[in-house]
Structure 1
Amino acid sequence: MTKLLVFAGTTEGRTLLEALSRQLSRQTYENGLSVFACVATEYGKELLQDGLDGIHIHAGRLTQSEMTALMKEHCFDFVIDTTHPYARVVSESIRMACAESGCKYLRVVRAEGRTLEMERQNCLFFHSHETAANYLDENPGKVLMTIGSKELHHYTNIQDYQHRLFPRVLPMNGVLESCTALGFAGRQLILMQGPFTAEMNAAMIRQINARYLVTKDSGEAGGFNEKYEAAVETGAQLLVIGRAEAEEGLSLKDLVEFLDETCGLTVGDAFMPYSTQLLEASDETQQGDTENAVAEKQNERRTPEQQKQDTGSWFPFFTKISGKSITVVGAGKIAGRRIKTLMNFDCNVTVIAEEAHPEVIQLEEDHRLTLRRKCWETEDISSADYVLAATNDSSINHEIYLECKNRGIPVNVADDKDKSDFYFPGIIRKNGVTVGVTADGKDHGLAKRATRVIAQCLETHLE
């Protein structure tokens, strides 16, 4: 029995665990396999649980002593560190725990230089505060500054900095005096003592409507991961001063080959990096016909009945919802996911529900939507341009559907695809590109996997 412990939380970790999960589902390995994964947050656990069968997942940050205890308890053959290269404190703790427990440590590293930079979502890297300040001077938008007070003077040459920059600094008299001397005062100053959770950082970003978050590369002890998570969640651009040093270790591909050769596994058969799939598809289209031409040739060899069976039922229209009113009836887990998606677009969301998921309540407190805690009534949708019926009661959803049909309002019924005029695809947004993914509403698992594939390809190849 081969026992693996994977510290995840990155694209590499997810890709590796998916391959290991497929290995477990095939049940073809000779020596047996047990996989345990650790992620820092419950959100990370939710992401991993989606489609990963046979993987034991622990959510929550572990101290070095807790890591050591876990390794000694399970006697792992290999401990695989796929944490982000900027989480150096975490990697060092994992190394020390492996040394204390006697487990073999394997580090997965990314390519150096620009490739590493491109693979971190929403991040820009600068060698100095001066270069970061020059970038902000040329790009409009409000900025949450989390670099402390001593370096703020580098940013006072930015046009209209007194109104654009929101420094978060320690609540100390000396700090307040130095910030005031630089021209920061009133609501521009955030005087708070950390540590700050990712949720707190995200709330601040939303409160000031920040387009950027500036931070030093301070590692986990300095709250870097929490800032990064908040930036990804809110869509803010993270400006990082300083870069991590190059590490020694294995590429993900080399790690998979090592596991197959050392443990008698066949993980490589279930593993293909998503970037490789994209490049192979690109090579084919460059060498031969275009995709449309290939499809036409394939259709020529099919009977009319076969072609009709392959005809899609859902066409991917992109519709303008800027300024539109969207009413969501229900505020549970499913409604919460769709509401969270809508928060990335310029629309007016009203939620009707007696009880609401904590994330929906937080969005109301952040003034990002209107929450009416009440039973649904027909007049609640009188001014809606679109309606989402997402309660946990199918009879109520059906009533909403009938009322929308009478009023001519497009409706999405969460528990009945056939009643829906539209439905939510998997959505990826990257550098101004928006992609919607669907499997015709027939295979949600397939749609989610395709969404992840496309997201990782865009993250890797789209500058």
Structure 2
Amino acid sequence: MRRVIFSGTSEGKMLCRQLSQAGLSAEVCVATEYGKEVMPELRGITVHTGRMTAPEMTEFLRGAQVVIDATHPYAVEVSKNIRAACAQVSCRYIRLLRPKTQAEGAVHVPSAAAAARYLSETEGAVLLTVGSKELACFTAVENYQERLWPRVLPAAKSLEICQQLGFPAAHLILMQGPFSEEMNVALIHASDAKWLVTKDTGEAGGLPAKLAAAKRCGCRVLLIDRPQEDGMTPDAVRDLLLGEKPPRFPLFVDLTDKTCVVVGCGAIGAHRAEVLLRYGARVIVVAPEGEAPAGAQHIRRAFEPQDIRGAFLVTAATDNHALNHEIYELCQREHIFISTADDRTACSFFFPAVRTGNGLSVGLVSDGSDHKKTARTAKKIEAILKEEQE
């Protein structure tokens, strides 16, 4: 079967990795050289670079059986062209939908142009986190050179667009995400922003970190709503292409004095650190917040790539989905066991619910269909182990 994936998003990269791990092949299309650079080298995955005209796309898709549109949620014209090309060659089209994020307290507008009109009725500096393609709309804001601070990719094209539109160099923020809550807070303070303009890019696009930072700083959020569309979740697309996966093999290993890194120290991270300590691991917790359990080393700062060096296993349990995914990809490249707390597809092992007693150790994981079932069953197992002890 010839599979084609139009990517450029973290969901597209993840789907490519899943297909490769399953021994399946696919052709992935990215629009830019930058898109190619951030795509990992994967067995069976061929990368095509460059934008296509409608006729070129139609010709390229001849012979394909299924096309997955995993482009950005706001790339409306691209998705329209892909659907039209699929219809021309009678190929199945599937839109992969990025999950939405609830943005309580945000002001919602339907477009970038509407956002610019709304800002024209407000006062104060504005941190723009909408990318460079629609920046021209915001030149309609009175005194935009003084009020607006665009944050765009550190690419020559992005800088060229900003310069052509007359944005002063002192107001340009050229950075590559993902951005943590702390980084967003720093940029809001640096720009003295009273408004933060963003799109509903979901967790993968760092929206929760932006919302949390704005709330901390008392900065209002202007949210450009996502276009309405039908499609499938990333998990549903994966299951469709891969079929039902076999369950994970319950491998019990000796963790005595092995280095285990836990990134994040909320309720989940602290619990996982405590469990690893019980099994004799040397536990390092990396998190600026929280309290690591007694016996663990607590590095009080944001995660850095070198933190996983020499680790036997890593668990990513931060509240930043993009950061957890970054840690997953780092561990995959270094062949380190990794479990992420918020995405079962980004795990080389599942962190189990553990129950011990009477010389027995039981680890329990679910298939993802019913998370409460794991807790209920673990409670029953705990009761059985206590009965055996008595």
TM-score when scaled to structure 2?
A: 0.48
Flag the structure with higher helix content: 1
TM-score when scaled to structure 1?
A: 0.42
The structure whose Rg is larger is 1
